[in-house]
Amino acid sequence: MWWDNDYTFHGKTDSYELMFNSPFAGKENVASFSKDKMNELKQYIEQLDQKHQVGLVKEDDLTSYNNPDFLWLSYELNRMRLRYNTSQRNPYTREVLPGHSQIPYVHICLNALAMSVSSLYPKSTLNEYKSSLKEHYVVEFELPFLKKYMEFLSGLFDDNPQIIDKNKRVVYQFKAPIYRKSPFAAMFDYRHEIPAVIFHQSVLMLLSHELAHIGNGHLKLIASDNAYGLSQDVLRACENDADCTALCWLLGSRILDVEGTCLEISADDYIKELALAICSVYMLLSWSYDKDHRKWNVESINKKAHFPASVRAYNMLNLAYSRLLKIGEWCERDGIVTSDKVKIDKAFTEKAFSLGMEMIRAFDRTFFMKHAHTEEVCELFDKGEAREVYQMVVQELSEGSVDVGIADTFYMIGCTKEAQAELKKIHELWPEVRSRLQKVNPYCQLAAVEPWNELPEQLII
């Protein structure tokens, strides 16, 4: 007998072709685009550049029509842009709806900075590369960030060794710790899809956030009034607006694509898709923080243009709940159903949110597991130490229910009085910032001014 790892990217998943591969995948099984697929994407991106009369912002090994990473990210960015632009047109006349305009073409530029706090997330720029053009937008992506994030997801979901007999039959299937916790325990058969879906949804959130900076006029505001646009509170209001816009696009993407009243997805799969989208955003914000740095740190709230990632995570979960309720309300009003004819309403989307929170709790508990991961099991089995393997598995199964203290829950800092005060301050500043953004003619319709929702006193720590 011998062991093998049943990793996600053993070739391609059923639904996704990704260029960012699990480190568990051997070279002979690395997932990659077929030549036909790569040529198809290359032709598509080259044609878009020609149509908009712009070339690559800087041609090198990374930002190149021959780099599949660049092609995939460029495709996803412009698919999101076109999805939004299409939703703002009359479906019969194709004219842009009153009060709306179209987000212009956006380029991708890949860099290779070493992993650091400053290179965690992409950034959007205006006219930094081609100042001769009236408006030239570029989203800069740090490739090491994506590689590291894929490695993180692989370590979390992809460590599922098998014991194989001489007839190549699976004698025993080990499971990564997260698959021993609800709700992922019941989703083990989908293990070849889940990390790919989470990675894909996370990338879409990043791209949508940068696209929101462009679409909502944040870069135009800075260009028109540098001092005002770069002040900390205004930057924070714009970052918060980009987060909120991106999450709304992510959760509503399938509704934007629907023609008629029937979605091309079953009820169970749609609930899982929405739940995984929420979980993906949470993982994206919290994955790079080790156990010690996931503790509350109220002092960090006032230091940067972004809210701390923990406060952003709280804010995104809060928004996800209210947004899903609105999606349920809209779908019920318009008679939207799933492919198996299940009506979508607020009860449906509440179920999706509850599942997403279950996934987040499973992730947080797995993050804090103190017992051996299955790669250690593999090493022991490979040495023929079967009794130790058995004892380790029994120990993991019996003690795997790790109790995560409230101070270890990443997003709970958003419930502190200090965080609530900062969130409220930015909320109250939004009408002024929104008014200034309207004057620079944003491409997208800006978020309305909503009343502040006080956090129930019993949740304020």
- In the predicted model, is pLDDT for residue 443 greater than 80? yes
- In the predicted model, is pLDDT for residue 373 greater than 50? no
C-alpha closest to that of 173 among 189, 196, 184, 197:
189
Q: At 293, is the pLDDT very low, low, confident or very high (cuts 50, 70, 90)?
A: low
Question: What backbone phi and psi angles, to 5 degrees, belong to 140?
Answer: -95, 130
Specify burial of residue 236 (Cβ count, 10 A radius: 0-12, 13-18, 19+): buried
C-alpha closest to that of 359 among 394, 416, 320, 328:
320
pLDDT for 29: 38
User: CA of 340: how far to CAs of 68, 267, 335, 347, in Å?
Assistant: 36, 7, 14, 17
- In the predicted model, is pLDDT for residue 286 greater than 50? yes
What are the tens digits of pLDDT across the range 64-110? 898 888 888 898 899 889 888 887 776 666 677 776 788 889 988 88
pLDDT for 378: 46
Structure tokens at 299: 């002092």
Q: At 5, is the pLDDT very low, low, confident or very high (cuts 50, 70, 90)?
A: low
C-alpha closest to that of 2 among 188, 161, 192:
161
Q: Please identify which residue in the block is written with the tokens 């701390």.
A: 308
- In the predicted model, is pLDDT for residue 339 greater than 90? yes
Q: At 15, is the pLDDT very low, low, confident or very high (cuts 50, 70, 90)?
A: very low
- Most confident listed range (99-113, 330-344, 378-392): 330-344
Helices (H), 2-123: 35-51, 68-87
Q: At 426, is the pLDDT very low, low, confident or very high (cuts 50, 70, 90)?
A: very high
**Which segment of 26-40, 361-375, 394-408 scores lowest on mean pLDDT?**
394-408
The DSSP bridge partners found for residue 107 are 138
C-alpha span between 401 and 397 (Å, rounded): 8
C-alpha span between 371 and 177 (Å, rounded): 9
Q: At 370, is the pLDDT very low, low, confident or very high (cuts 50, 70, 90)?
A: very low
Say how many Å lie between the first and final Cα of the chain, rounded.
Answer: 54
Q: At 151, is the pLDDT very low, low, confident or very high (cuts 50, 70, 90)?
A: confident
pLDDT for 149: 82
pLDDT for 164: 76
Contacts of 183 (CB under 8 A, 6+ apart): 355, 358, 359, 362
Q: Please identify which residue in the block is written with the tokens 């949110």.
A: 353
Between 65 and 364, name the one with better pLDDT.
65
Which percentage of the chain shows pLDDT scores above 70? Answer: 74
Contact by Cβ (8 Å): 182, 360: no
3-class DSSP state for residue 54?
coil
pLDDT for 197: 85
Average pLDDT of span 398-417: 64
pTM of the prediction? 0.84
pLDDT for 56: 86
C-alpha span between 200 and 79 (Å, rounded): 13
Average pLDDT of span 135-150: 83
The DSSP bridge partners found for residue 149 are none
C-alpha closest to that of 145 among 208, 73, 212:
73
3-class DSSP state for residue 189?
helix
Which percentage of the chain shows pLDDT scores above 90? Answer: 30
C-alpha closest to that of 15 among 31, 27, 1, 39:
31
Between 408 and 234, name the one with better pLDDT.
234
pLDDT for 11: 36
pLDDT for 381: 46
User: In terms of C-beta distances under 8 Å and separation of at least 24 residues, what long-range contacts does 377-382 make, across chains too?
Assistant: 377/161, 377/174, 378/3, 378/5, 378/161, 378/174, 381/3, 381/161, 381/163, 382/2, 382/3
Average pLDDT of span 313-335: 92
C-alpha span between 148 and 152 (Å, rounded): 6
